[in-house]
Amino acid sequence: MIQIVLAALVLASAFVFLRHVNELFLLRIDDGKVRLVRGRIPKRLFDEIADIAAQSRLSGVRVRVISEGGAPRLVPEGLPPHVAQRVRNVLGRFTLAEIRNAPRMRRP
């Protein structure tokens, strides 16, 4: 019985690790306000996404950006398609290296 529980814990841990291994950052948007949940993001990119969120009055949205094929890729959760496209347009101006090398932001 203990072996089954340990195996389940190992599998769950591996799943969580692999799910986040290529994640660059995760943002949470509530009432138009953006909060960095984890990762690194250039201040300029954060500010532009915050402007889009405020203008669009977004709430209950998660914005996840992953590394895929050597470039950042948006994985929107709850973003309307036209807003997701605006975020993709802003994200496209940043390289993978700029995002990975961004200084850590303080989280409120």
Give CA torsion, residues 89, 51, 74, 84, to 10 deg: -70
pLDDT score recorded for residue 87:
96
Q: Is residue 90 part of a domain?
A: yes
Chain centroid, CA 8 distance in Å: 27
Residues of the chain predicted below pLDDT 70: 6-8, 10-21, 107-108
In a domain, 107, yes or no: no
Q: How far is residue 36's CA from residue 17's CA, in Å, rounded to a whole number?
A: 19
Query: Could you tell me how many helices (H) and strands (E) the chain has, helices first?
Result: 4, 4
Q: Is residue 68 part of a domain?
A: yes
5 inside domain: no
Q: Residue 39 contacts by C-beta under 8 Å, 6 or more apart in sequence?
A: 23, 24, 25, 26, 65
| Host domain of residue 75 | 22-100
pLDDT score of 94 = 95
Structural domain count, the chain:
1
Does pTM top 0.95 for this prediction? Answer: no
In a domain, 75, yes or no: yes
CA distance 8 to 29: 33
User: Is there a domain that residue 10 lies in?
Assistant: no
